[in-house]
């Protein structure tokens, strides 16, 4: 499967009577979209629900966000234009304690990749009597609709850069790279329910079995977020579209390894479901004749068990594993990092300790509301001080310890 991504660089967003992309500027008719635009100033966005990159399918089958906006035709091939450097951010008090914060300046901005984007923010308030599941669905679909409309503005724009991503079939890969280790990516999708959801071609992942998907399908919007989980390690839709594990494996494809494809699996709450999904994941890894896999987790606590089950069972098939997670090791870093472990989990990459404490200074402007800062996971009663500063764990920051490695932390 072959996908060509044309990147249209966006360096600014401005209001205009006419929506268009011109000379690197995204002009938006605010009345049409009923949105707020984030400018480059001292700004705090909260409570953040999702971050979505605008893109448009210009050639090939299917459309953007299949099963959500477009029909369920298979995506991942043809040509797609991406408004790189911009994002649609949805904000709303859906849960209150499991949304997040994006600071555009100050120390908090160093913990989130989204502070470096030009963000079009949609603050979505519920009507009276609207229940949380309906509220979440309305905000989720509103974000995809706006991202689709904005992405359409790039249809006829000449990209600043074009990249081609192609995955050969299993048999073709064996012929092309007989001496290279066969490596796949196992992506665990949050699917615990109660607004802890991820969607694959519009289907809730907890209703699916572990299966194989082409990496270019992810780049074309086949997987999207419906999550209201801890902000630091949730995978937003932007993360799925720009998964760095996929991009890094593509970079090494045909050089140091043969990137065979992606196995997606869910993270359910019942033991039988965990056993079933991890059994299927290990079976697929064996069936593909893999030498190694990279496994990424989403969330923490209960999903730690899914992570270790996948790791252990794949290792027992004779396939080497590397797991990507983050840690909840306490504010002093001395507590057990994961809720589960196994001697076979010998290669681990961490996205950081979500319990690390940070002080976020007062911002000149708030898009959304500070009403839930004390309740957001990682905050506490008194996190928001009278002077406007926020003292909390980095768990409150959207993307701070992302378990795809899509964050700004490193080790020394």
pLDDT in tens, 143-184: 999 999 999 999 999 999 999 999 999 899 999 999 999 999
- State what percent of residues in the chain have pLDDT above 70: 98
- Cβ contact 376:231 at 8 Å: yes
Domain membership of residue 186 (yes or no) is: yes
DSSP 8-state symbol, 31: H
Where do runs of H (alpha helix) occur along 177-224? 215-219
Domain residue limits at 136 = 2-396
Domain membership of residue 410 (yes or no) is: no
Domain membership of residue 408 (yes or no) is: no
- Cβ contact 405:351 at 8 Å: yes
- Cβ contact 285:295 at 8 Å: no
How many whole angstroms from its chain centre is CA 165?
Answer: 20
What is the structure's pLDDT at 40?
Answer: 44
What is the structure's pLDDT at 15?
Answer: 86
Taking residues 82-102, what's their average pLDDT?
A: 92
Tally of domains in the chain: 1
- Peptide bond preceding 47 in cis form (omega within 30 of 0): yes
Domain membership of residue 404 (yes or no) is: no
Domain membership of residue 354 (yes or no) is: yes
DSSP 8-state symbol, 42: S
311 in catalytic set? no
Domain membership of residue 411 (yes or no) is: no
Domain membership of residue 59 (yes or no) is: yes
Lowest mean pLDDT of 124-138, 283-297, 391-405, name the range.
Answer: 124-138
Q: How far apart are the first and last CA of the chain?
A: 39
What is the structure's pLDDT at 34?
Answer: 59
Q: Which residues pair with 70 in a beta bridge?
A: 66
Q: What angle do CA 35, 36, 37 make, to 5 degrees?
A: 120
């Amino acid at each position: 499967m072959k996908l060509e991504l044309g990147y249209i660089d966006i360096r600014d967003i401005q209001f205009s009577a006419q929506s268009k992309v011109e000379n690197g500027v995204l002009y938006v008719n605010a009345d049409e979209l009923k949105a707020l635009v984030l400018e480059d100033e001292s700004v705090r966005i909260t409570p953040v629900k999702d971050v979505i990159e605008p893109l448009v399918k210009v050639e090939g089958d299917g459309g953007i966000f299949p099963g959500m906006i477009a029909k369920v035709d298979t995506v991942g091939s043809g040509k797609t234009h991406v408004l790189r450097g911009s994002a649609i951010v949805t904000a709303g008090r859906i849960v209150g304690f499991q949304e997040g914060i994006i600071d555009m300046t100050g120390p908090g901005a160093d913990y989130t990749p989204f502070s470096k984007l030009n963000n079009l923010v949609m603050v979505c308030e519920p009507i009276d009597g609207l229940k949380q599941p309906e509220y979440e669905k309305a905000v989720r679909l509103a974000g995809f609709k706006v991202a689709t409309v904005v992405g359409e503005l790039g249809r006829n724009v000449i990209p600043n850069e074009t990249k081609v991503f192609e995955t050969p079939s299993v048999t073709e890969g064996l012929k092309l790279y007989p001496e290279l280790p066969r490596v796949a990516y196992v992506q665990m999708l949050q699917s615990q329910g109660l607004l802890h959801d991820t969607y694959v071609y519009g289907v809730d992942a907890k209703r699916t079995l572990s299966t194989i998907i082409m990496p270019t399908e992810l780049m074309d919007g086949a997987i999207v977020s419906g999550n209201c989980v801890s902000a630091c390690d949730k995978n937003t839709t932007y993360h799925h579209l720009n998964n760095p594990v996929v991009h890094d494996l593509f970079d090494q494809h045909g050089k140091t390894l043969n990137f065979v494809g992606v196995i997606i699996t869910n993270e359910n709450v019942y033991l039988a479901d965990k056993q079933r999904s991890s059994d299927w994941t290990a079976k697929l890894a064996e069936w593909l004749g893999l030498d190694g896999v990279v496994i990424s987790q989403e969330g923490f606590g209960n999903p730690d068990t899914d992570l270790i089950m996948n790791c252990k069972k794949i290792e027992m098939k004779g396939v080497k594993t590397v797991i990507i997670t983050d840690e909840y090791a306490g504010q002093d870093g001395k507590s057990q990092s994961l809720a589960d472990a196994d001697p076979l989990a010998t290669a681990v990459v961490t996205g950081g300790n979500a319990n690390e404490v940070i002080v976020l200074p007062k911002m000149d402007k708030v898009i959304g509301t500070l009403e839930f800062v004390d309740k957001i996971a990682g905050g506490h009663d008194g996190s928001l001080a009278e002077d406007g500063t926020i003292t909390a764990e980095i768990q409150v920051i959207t993307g701070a310890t992302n378990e795809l490695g899509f964050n700004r932390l490193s080790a020394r």
